[in-house]
């Protein structure tokens, strides 16, 4: 058996970043920037007023000073002439600051009478002007790779980037295996259950940027598994679920190897999720996840999400661990790393009592996988533990 860390190293050795594609800015949120983007202009492109008020010469600012209003600078429509001594322009937020102006009086600090203003309150020392390039200057660069947030999208818009080069979304083919499985909406026989893993994992992988296809369920016959692999053609990542343990009916590994898969590893020293396999199959990476629902989701979180990130161009790395304090004592762990289901709320984490790897009801209430290292001693209430957010 190998450790989770070793298994991840093996997986990363199978993966190289995908190519890129160009998408409209409005579709780029949640995608990964594939190439640096450099601003070709300053923002703001001109010194701009930060307030609604009157633009004047700073040297003349004093309580009681009077100015003659000679024009107006509005957003989109600047004042063209210079502003001289004793003169003011009405100016609005975001408007270009005219030549000669280096101070914007707030309108609430002035008394206006027809075309004259008098400063009637101390305007303070803040000039209320945003210099050209205050936000960014031409040459400012947003570096790739970067997971584009909504605020990055706003920034790219301000940089006048209508099209964005992003990494192609990983094409994932998901194959559930097992004679016991039927699709939701079907009528299961007395020995059958409804397939659940593919639906949960598709949602998880898509939320991480992938484009996941659920393939037909493969039965426990070599021909059925071959058919499923055939339908997976073109995928960057082929993920099978179930059929990866050592039982007499576990045919997936055998069929995959016949089809040319070079197997990387087979068992990982973890709970839940021990049976796991991976290898290259033609142009695709193949990962075999265990069939227990919770084991499949844990392995999806621990192994597949980092692989999706690496395919999207990020440096290969395990998921970031957070930490929180235990709300109750928890007993010592055994020899395998344990990913326990629990719930974190404002820094306090509760390990659920029921940890059986078949319990989707428990999993759906969890928002964290608490990480117990191999042979971790018993932990007390208030102890700091690490977790992965779900």
Tell me the number of residues near a copy of itself by CB under 8 A. Answer: 94
CB 326 within 8 A of CB 351: yes
Q: How far apart are CA 143 and CA 154, in angstroms?
A: 15
Tell which residue, 93, 99, 96, 55, has the closest CA to residue 77. Answer: 96
Among 10, 12, 30, 165, binds a copy of itself (CB under 8 A): 30
| 317 touches a copy of itself (CB under 8 A) | no
Among 62, 114, 353, 361, binds a copy of itself (CB under 8 A): 361
Closer of 81 and 188 to a copy of itself (Cβ)? 188
Among 44, 55, 272, 288, binds a copy of itself (CB under 8 A): 44
Query: Which residues does 69 contact at the CB level (< 8 Å), separation at least 6?
Result: 54, 87, 88, 89, 90, 112, 115, 116, 117
Tell which residue, 234, 194, 226, 228, has the closest CA to residue 214. Answer: 228
The token pair that represents 318 in the structure block: 């395990």
Work out how close the CB of 185 gets to a copy of itself at its nearest, in angstroms, rounded to a whole number.
3
Work out how close the CB of 366 gets to a copy of itself at its nearest, in angstroms, rounded to a whole number.
7
For residue 133, how many C-alpha atoms fall within 13 Å in the half-sphere facing its CB? 8
Q: Is 128 left (phi over 0), alpha (psi -120 to 50) or beta?
A: left
Tell which residue, 343, 337, 339, 308, has the closest CA to residue 324. Answer: 343
Q: Indicate if the alpha-carbon torsion angle 207, 212, 216, 217 is positive or negative.
A: negative
Window 111 to 170, contacts with a copy of itself (CB under 8 A): 130, 134-136, 140, 142, 149-163
| 297 touches a copy of itself (CB under 8 A) | yes
Q: Indicate if the alpha-carbon torsion angle 197, 198, 204, 205 is positive or negative.
A: positive
Closer of 62 and 151 to a copy of itself (Cβ)? 151
| 272 touches a copy of itself (CB under 8 A) | no
| 363 touches a copy of itself (CB under 8 A) | yes
Among 55, 272, 279, 291, binds a copy of itself (CB under 8 A): 291
| 359 touches a copy of itself (CB under 8 A) | yes
Question: Is residue 275 helix, strand or coil?
Answer: strand
Q: How far apart are CA 241 and CA 390, in angstroms?
A: 19
Work out how close the CB of 30 gets to a copy of itself at its nearest, in angstroms, rounded to a whole number.
7
Between 48 and 67, how does the x/- string for binding to a copy of itself read (CB under 8 A)? x-x-x---------------
| 47 touches a copy of itself (CB under 8 A) | no
Work out how close the CB of 40 gets to a copy of itself at its nearest, in angstroms, rounded to a whole number.
11
Closer of 214 and 259 to a copy of itself (Cβ)? 214
Work out how close the CB of 9 gets to a copy of itself at its nearest, in angstroms, rounded to a whole number.
24
Window 179 to 238, contacts with a copy of itself (CB under 8 A): 179-181, 183-186, 188-204, 206-207, 214, 220
Among 55, 293, 306, 342, binds a copy of itself (CB under 8 A): 293
Closer of 35 and 214 to a copy of itself (Cβ)? 214
* Beta-bridge mates of residue 110: 119
State the chain's maximal CA–CA distance in angstroms.
95
Work out how close the CB of 13 gets to a copy of itself at its nearest, in angstroms, rounded to a whole number.
27
The token pair that represents 248 in the structure block: 């007499």
Q: How far apart are CA 166 and CA 152, in angstroms?
A: 13
Among 17, 55, 96, 209, binds a copy of itself (CB under 8 A): 96
Query: Which residues does 16 contact at the CB level (< 8 Å), separation at least 6?
Result: none
Window 364 to 383, contacts with a copy of itself (CB under 8 A): 364, 366
Q: How many residues does the chain have?
A: 390
Work out how close the CB of 109 gets to a copy of itself at its nearest, in angstroms, rounded to a whole number.
15
């Amino acid at each position: 058996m190998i450790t989770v860390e070793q298994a991840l190293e093996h997986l990363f050795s199978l993966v190289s970043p995908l190519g890129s594609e160009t998408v409209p800015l409005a579709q780029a949120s949640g995608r990964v920037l594939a190439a640096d983007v450099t601003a070709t202009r300053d923002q703001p492109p001109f010194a701009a007023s930060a307030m609604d008020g009157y633009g004047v010469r700073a040297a003349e600012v004093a309580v009681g000073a009077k100015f003659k209003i000679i024009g107006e600078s509005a957003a989109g429509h600047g004042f063209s002439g210079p502003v001289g001594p004793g003169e003011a322009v009405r100016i609005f937020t975001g408007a270009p600051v005219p030549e000669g102006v280096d101070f914007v009086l707030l309108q609430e600090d002035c008394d206006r009478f027809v075309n004259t203003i008098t400063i009637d309150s101390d305007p303070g020392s803040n000039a209320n002007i945003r210099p050209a390039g205050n936000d960014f200057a031409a040459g400012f660069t947003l570096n790739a790779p970067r997971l584009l947030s909504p605020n990055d999208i706003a920034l790219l818009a301000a940089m006048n980037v209508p099209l964005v080069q992003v990494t192609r979304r990983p094409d994932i083919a998901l194959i559930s295996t097992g004679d016991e499985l039927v699709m939701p909406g079907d009528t299961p026989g007395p020995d059958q259950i409804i397939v659940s893993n593919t639906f949960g994992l598709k949602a998880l992988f898509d939320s991480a940027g992938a484009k996941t296809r659920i393939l037909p369920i493969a039965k426990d016959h070599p021909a059925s598994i071959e058919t499923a692999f055939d339908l997976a053609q073109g995928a960057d990542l082929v993920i099978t679920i179930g059929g990866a343990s050592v039982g007499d009916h576990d045919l997936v590994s055998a069929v995959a190897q016949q089809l040319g898969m070079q197997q990387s590893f087979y068992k990982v020293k973890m709970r839940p999720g021990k049976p796991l396999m991976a290898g290259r199959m033609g142009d695709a990476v193949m990962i075999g996840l265990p069939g227990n629902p919770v084991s499949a989701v844990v392995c999806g979180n621990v192994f597949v999400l980092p692989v999706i990130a690496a395919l999207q161009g990020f440096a290969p790395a395990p998921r970031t661990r957070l930490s929180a304090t235990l709300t109750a004592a928890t007993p010592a762990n055994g020899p395998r790393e344990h990913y326990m289901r629990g719930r974190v709320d404002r820094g306090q984490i509760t390990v659920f009592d029921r940890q059986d790897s078949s319990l989707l009801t428990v999993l759906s209430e969890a928002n964290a996988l608490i990480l117990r290292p191999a042979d971790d001693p018993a932990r007390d209430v208030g102890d700091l533990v690490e977790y992965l957010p779900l």
